[in-house]
Structure 1
């Protein structure tokens, strides 16, 4: 991550925004963290003073610099059902929020809702709605009263794609104050791999492989991908780590798959080198927990044809069937196998899909476009708040 010196002096009349989420760089590098980073990076250059607060197992409360903005870590005390809690985060949030003009929350994180009310900070607020709560159905029923109160209290809700807004029961309840701002990426924030590194990977994995990049979680559908590979010779490279990685390696061994490479988590430069070499990006997420798919968007940014599943989320906003790639039914190994075969057997059509994906990225999904719209929203809710007071 690029780190540069920044001025800590806030200019007169400069809008100050605090983003709040359960984790952030450099502790973790997931999709939501990437979104927070891209928003912060773009907002700063548009005259917004941006800070980020997250929890950390490192227990470091001091400010550190991530690229061009300040980030604070409060020590993680404990977790329940993937929800982190921190007593010191309550105090830190209250102090930072008092100095902020706008609070920007990232949902879902029930502890965040609690902090919102416990601290009684009366500042304009927006929440980016990244995903419905899918897995913890029982706990969701207990959480719903707090969720409803929280969603009703914020000034604006942001959905990351029109697809998710249309298919989320929760978002439909608050459609009147929900706007769509698609996630965007800044290509210049990604490293340009050296030719020697690309050649190193070409010698190791070739240049006609299908690539998966992402956290290896239950909803990513990699078990479906492995089932689809039975009886084929399709080379597949899997970049990432996560809680079901060992289980997937056992499945690959059990199925006798010799063309699958698990590379684990890699530095960004290696990841980009592999994106340059891959023939296509395969993204078999099969559950709505995959609300957008930042890794899929990276594939579009690097002009790669994509294969994804129709799960009613932003994945089918990034990847348009027969235009930028192929969209198949979820949890369908034969359909996935056929899609991979089509990409392999029709290289010119696949390259054209990749080119169209790149155009779609440039039109809809740049970080510049995303940051511009968030800054406009920050200013809008801040102006509304001043007019009411």
Structure 2
């Protein structure tokens, strides 16, 4: 079977959670005999065709972006052309232009969409987009929710309940580099032996202002990995609070990220809005056996992190509660270690790349057979 993925960003231009999910789906299902291709937009130029981890990536120039909705006229032509040569098209939502391109390209192949997140922030634009969104979701043959939690709490997904199934993201630890002793020693000297770690793109819904406010009440060391649109705003917030225990490292490569995941004491994941539908970096923490602190927002974060079992889950937008959770883990290493071990076990049971790939392969086969 040949599958074409279509999303607005992908490697090497962007390294966010959706891109990681697409990569893991491609790599995992390839082991089951599925040939994957990715069609994406680029603002950085470069080759029109690349190969990444064994799958072909087609890149077309982005023409314009409005309210995070990247658009490309050439993408419509490319989608129409590439869809003709595959057995199934796999869309990734939300991306309004992707919905429009589906119809303008007159895609007439079996199709599924992974529903990564509700549209949370742009309420006014959602009213304008809603008719197209519902027409698109009604037209595709299958919809994937990224966790049972998100399915249960999404008004949009419940509307299409008869064709929605939950397939949690999975990770393959073998695709992550092994940190060298020299790199571990470097970061141990830089950030110490014991620290809380956040990894992610610095966006509004990540709740990092909540983490910084929590740190105004305690002095636990925190390392923040990632870049993004509110990076300078967060650094200024930390400066105003007089926080000396916070290190902003910016974006780091995979080798450095894995070294920091290996060394950290626990994961701090303060996302407070439903735009955080899953939390790939939270799952990475579980994969590396780290206890986690997250907020209850009715999404996949609380499917990864079970309160009192794999870590602690606190109310959203509550710096005091988040700080208390940090204190609980910091002052009880035995509890933190036990939670980390259970987090690793839960990853192995529910969130491996092998399990995700098998579930997607089964869905692809089912949709392809049932489509006219």
Both structures adopt the same fold (TM-score exceeding 0.5): yes
* Cα shift at 1:61: 6.3
Q: 2:217, 2:323 within 8 Å by CA — same for their partners in 1?
A: no
Can you list the C-alpha shifts for 1:181-211, whole angstroms capped at 9, x where unaligned?
0000010010101011101111111121000
Deviation string for 1:228-282 (max 9, x for gaps)?
0113220000000011110111111111111100000001111111111111000
Equivalent position of 1:27 in the other structure: 13
Partner of residue 137, structure 1: 123
Kindly indicate whether residue 63 of structure 2 is the aligned counterpart of residue 73 of structure 1: no
8 Å CA contact 2:179, 2:256 repeated in 1:
yes
Partner of 1:99, secondary structure, is coil
Which of 16, 38, 42 is residue 56 of structure 1 equivalent to?
A: 42
Does structure 2 conserve the Cα–Cα contact (< 8 Å) formed by 1:61 and 1:74? no
Alpha-carbon distance in 1 for matches of 2:335, 2:222: 20
Q: Which residue does 1:6 correspond to in 2?
A: none
Aligned equivalents of 1:31 and 1:246: distance in 2? 21
- Distance in 1 separating the partners of 2:80 and 2:142: 20
Unaligned runs of 5+ in 1: 1-14
What runs of 5+ residues in structure 2 fail to find an aligned partner?
Answer: none
After superposition, residues 89-168 of structure 1 pair within 5 angstroms as: 89-168=75-154
The answer to whether the Cα contact below 8 Å between 1:301 and 1:357 also exists between their aligned partners in 2 is yes
- The runs of at least 4 aligned residues of structure 1 exceeding 3 Å deviation read none
In structure 1, the partner of 2:359 is 373
Residue 314, structure 1, aligned to residue 300, structure 2: yes
1:282 counterpart = 2:268: yes
How do 1:256-271 and structure 2 match up within 5 A?
256-271=242-257
- What's the TM-score once normalised by structure 1's chain length? 0.95
* Per-residue deviation, 1:63: 1.7
Shift in Å, 1:42: 1.2
Output the CA distance in 2 between the equivalents of 1:81 and 1:248.
Answer: 21
User: 2:25 maps to which residue?
Assistant: 39
1:252 paired residue among 238, 252, 269? 238
Deviation sequence 1:320-365 (CA, Å, 0-9, x none): 0000000000000110110000000010011000000000000000
Three-state SS of the structure 2 residue aligned to 1:106 is strand
> C-alpha separation between the residues in 2 aligned to 1:258 and 1:59?
39
Report the CA distance shift for 1:33/1:263 in structure 2 as closer, same or farther (over 3 A): same
Secondary structure in 1 aligned to 2:211? helix
Q: What secondary structure sits across from 2:84 in the alignment?
A: helix
Partner of 2:284: 298
1:382 to 351, 357, 368: 368
Rounded to whole Å, the distance in 1 between the matches of 2:277 and 2:125 is 20
- Distance in 2 (CA, whole Å) between partners of 1:211 and 1:88 is 40
State the SS of the aligned residue for 1:308: strand
CA distance in 1, matches of 2:66, 2:143: 25
Alignment partner, residue 343 of structure 1: 329
State yes or no: 1:226 paired with 2:201: no
Q: Deviations over 1:77-100 (max 9, x none)?
A: 000110011011011110000111
State the partner residue of 2:170: 184
- 1:18 and 2:19 matched: no
Distance 2:2 2:130 in 1: 31
Three-state SS of the structure 2 residue aligned to 1:262 is strand
Q: TM-score, with normalisation over the residues of structure 2?
A: 0.99
